[in-house]
Structure 1
């Protein structure tokens, strides 16, 4: 009888342990399921790794405003400039992967900066989660309207005659505008001096308007037509083939015989490790925003829409990294 009682006691204890374990698993599963089904149930933060104004801020705010309507919660934009965009994107990459912190990524941050800064918390698409591609933009060359340069060739002649003296503001060291300038210097035997500003292209434009530099290389043309109409600036060139609709008066550098290959790419990014259901909802909601007529109308200000899946975005960033690595090797070579 004693043996039987001991065996029964052990069996009951084990049964209780199994039931407790099953109950815990069921409760955990219920919690995960409820969390995914209820996402989002509070405000989302959208981090912009550059200052207000410029080309990154308007598209981020347009996207966030429309995302609010799709998801039914507030999407608050926070500008976190510095480090050529790496400080703000570091906040995105290190955030808790719950879908409540997302933000803007660019090809200069994601594909170039890891090549020159080994201390970044992100190096490849394995370290963050692509959500959607917002669009891309060419770089334009802008001078003040009261400058003596009326054409691209007049400006280039002055640069050639005054090596390293003509200053052009750019939105951070080795951002796309800066790299376009370096590529242009290399291919055209110029010595245009770039002045990086950490606050993005908006700060770079203010430097031009404040007469602290002679020119600026600006991503896209958001807000520029208004500056042209107000008689404040003149757009001399666009670094792409053909006419750029927002500033049709600008000379195409490629059509003028100067070879340039870079443009700015804008992405929606999140931390790595999002729950599958949260990722699916963010990807779906973002696609809904980007495919809307309202977003297409906004994009006419200078953005080329190029929707892609998260997998395709990862592949694009890897390709851009290879392109930047090749350009970096060329730029590091002595003339």
Structure 2
């Protein structure tokens, strides 16, 4: 993967001032428009929370905060851009956990180290994956599926949104924890995986809750279990996998806001406090509750710990499954 130069970062524009501001600008922050880089195409969970957060930050600080979607390499392209930005607070990152944790385990070569090349600011939200099956599958519960899988090794085709996506890791974790043999089928995105399930290409699928929420509510697919330790208010009929014979089973996606390395403590504190206030707004809670997300918030130190813990959780799963990305 080629390096991303400061010249190429200039696509954010002089208005975002990637390489022009010094310590004085940091003291006066924000003195002009701020870029919130989301390292994925529009529509994902980071984008969903990033846009209302940008509006809240714009109102709070009296300057425009503009979402800049920079997809590529499972989030590495946009994240790498932020690691090379000036530490003046004019470029920040709103991302899911992949580019700042599990990508270090998946990619043969990483252009940055998320634990040293980024400044944690705040956790935002988290969201579990859900295991679903077609209505005509020969099992109606997780326990039935596990019994069927053990009696029919490799017969269940399980769709996941992409190689290395959280749904893929959750499927590998399920295979490992339950001692079953699944045929895991990666698709090119959550929408195509859902189409594959509905059309019969696969009979089971695992992805973040919003990918199948409407299908579950419409009765076109059946929820076998949610990979959280507690039920979700958004899907009251979906039992936790942890309560169905696999105690402690979790596969949680989460979002966070970070900055480039060396971001001044004063800016970190300002953004952290504003992000926590955003999460306390009733409309934010309503938005996240509707898709099964939980509000998080907290300190930069809590985010740093979460990043490190995520690596420890998935390291043995990824190593055992031998998942690698280029």
Same fold (TM over 0.5): yes
Deviation at 1:39, TM superposition (A): 0.9
Q: TM-score, normalised by structure 1?
A: 0.76
- Is 1:47 the counterpart of 2:33 in the alignment? no
Task: Give runs of aligned pairs for residues 26-175 of structure 1, distance below 5 A.
Answer: 32-33=23-24, 36-42=27-33, 44-145=34-135, 149-175=139-165
- Is 1:236 the counterpart of 2:227 in the alignment? no
Worse-superposed segment, 223-232 or 60-69: 223-232
Would the aligned equivalents of 1:84 and 1:172 in 2 still touch at CA under 8 Å? no
Would the aligned equivalents of 2:30 and 2:90 in 1 still touch at CA under 8 Å? no
Deviation at 1:157, TM superposition (A): 4.3
Deviation at 1:182, TM superposition (A): 0.8
| Alignment match of 1:177 (pick from 162, 167, 187) | 167
- Please give the alpha-carbon distance, in whole angstroms, between the structure 1 residues aligned to 2:168 and 2:131: 11
- Please give the alpha-carbon distance, in whole angstroms, between the structure 2 residues aligned to 1:246 and 1:292: 19
- Please give the alpha-carbon distance, in whole angstroms, between the structure 1 residues aligned to 2:161 and 2:68: 18
| Alignment match of 1:247 (pick from 235, 239, 242) | 235
Worse-superposed segment, 127-136 or 311-320: 311-320
Deviation at 1:203, TM superposition (A): 5.0
RMSD (CA atoms):
3.0
Would the aligned equivalents of 1:128 and 1:272 in 2 still touch at CA under 8 Å? yes
Runs of at least 4 residues off by over 6 Å: none
Would the aligned equivalents of 1:105 and 1:267 in 2 still touch at CA under 8 Å? yes
Comparing both structures, which one devotes a greater share of its residues to helix?
Answer: 1
| Alignment match of 1:278 (pick from 250, 267, 271) | 267
Q: In 2 relative to 1, CA 35–139 (structure 1 residues): closer, same or farther, beyond 3 Å?
A: closer
- The aligned residue for residue 22 of structure 1 is none
- The aligned residue for residue 304 of structure 2 is 314
- Please give the alpha-carbon distance, in whole angstroms, between the structure 2 residues aligned to 1:327 and 1:112: 11
- The aligned residue for residue 6 of structure 2 is none
Q: In 2 relative to 1, CA 244–228 (structure 1 residues): closer, same or farther, beyond 3 Å?
A: same
Deviation at 1:266, TM superposition (A): 1.7
Q: TM-score, normalised by structure 2?
A: 0.78
- Please give the alpha-carbon distance, in whole angstroms, between the structure 1 residues aligned to 2:44 and 2:85: 25
SS of the equivalent of 1:126 reads coil
1:237-269 deviation per Cα after TM superposition (whole angstroms, max 9, x unaligned):
112234222111113211111242432222112
Would the aligned equivalents of 2:226 and 2:240 in 1 still touch at CA under 8 Å? yes
- The aligned residue for residue 253 of structure 2 is 264
Worse-superposed segment, 309-318 or 49-58: 49-58
Q: In 2 relative to 1, CA 237–56 (structure 1 residues): closer, same or farther, beyond 3 Å?
A: farther
- The aligned residue for residue 5 of structure 1 is none
Structure 1 unmatched ranges of 5 or more: 1-29
Corresponding pairs, count: 300
Q: In 2 relative to 1, CA 328–97 (structure 1 residues): closer, same or farther, beyond 3 Å?
A: same
- The aligned residue for residue 222 of structure 1 is 210
Would the aligned equivalents of 2:131 and 2:226 in 1 still touch at CA under 8 Å? yes
- Please give the alpha-carbon distance, in whole angstroms, between the structure 2 residues aligned to 1:223 and 1:192: 21
- Please give the alpha-carbon distance, in whole angstroms, between the structure 1 residues aligned to 2:136 and 2:51: 32
- Please give the alpha-carbon distance, in whole angstroms, between the structure 2 residues aligned to 1:82 and 1:212: 27
SS of the equivalent of 1:317 reads helix
1:139-179 deviation per Cα after TM superposition (whole angstroms, max 9, x unaligned):
21123456554333444444445543433333433333222
SS of the equivalent of 1:99 reads coil
